[in-house]
Amino acid sequence: MTKWRPLGWAMLVLLFVAIVFALTPLPNPPELGEAIFHLIGGSVNIVLAVFICIISFMAILWVAAGILHLVASLLHGRGNYLGVVCGLSFAIFPLSFLAPLAFLRAILASVGMGVLGSILFLIGSLILFIWLLILEIIAIRQNYSFSTGKAIVTYFIPGIALVIIPLLVAGITAAI
């Protein structure tokens, strides 16, 4: 039973971050949904937007963890899939600080300091992204008993493959 306890806590953290992220006006998720799907203003329910955000976060997390687990296994890592799921779930916690940053940006914009708010939001977002990146690499390192260098390689191989494979396919297709 204690084996599953970290997974439960990890899913609670993931749920919290997904809800905070969905409720953060970056822009407002219902307005974003209306713009994407060409809907009438006010036709998207915030509950639906939050639900979609939660499902998206979960799907992305589980797929990303699977891909990272595959890469780590190919590099002879000694961890397990649920370990990386838990680690990545805890590692995304810094995203919950986007809400206060967006709130600060909105307050500064309302008092005529929108440029300052945007600059602070950009700098804060960059810091949060770097923090999240470091935490995700640490999660991989700890779960698979890797060195930091091997964890970094494991983290970036899927992204590099996403760039290189389409380029190779495009090059082969163009040559034919």
Helix 81-91 to helix 46-74 angle (10° resolution) is 130
Assess whether pLDDT exceeds 80 at residue 84: yes
pLDDT range class, residue 119, cuts 50, 70, 90: very high
Cα separation of 140 and 143, whole Å? 5
Q: Which runs of consecutive H residues, i.e. helices, occur in 75-145?
A: 81-91, 98-110, 114-144
> What is the C-alpha to C-alpha distance for residues 136 and 158, in angstroms, rounded to an integer?
14
Work out the mean pLDDT of the chain and round it to a whole number.
86
Provide the terminal-to-terminal Cα distance of the chain, rounded to the nearest Å. 57
CA distances from 46 to 7, 32, 43, 94, 160 (A): 27, 11, 10, 23, 36
* Res 1: pLDDT: 42
Quote the pTM value: 0.81
Q: Mean pLDDT, to the nearest integer, of 146-166?
A: 94
Which range (21-25, 47-51, 141-145) has the least confidence? 21-25
Average of per-residue pLDDT across 135-141: 97
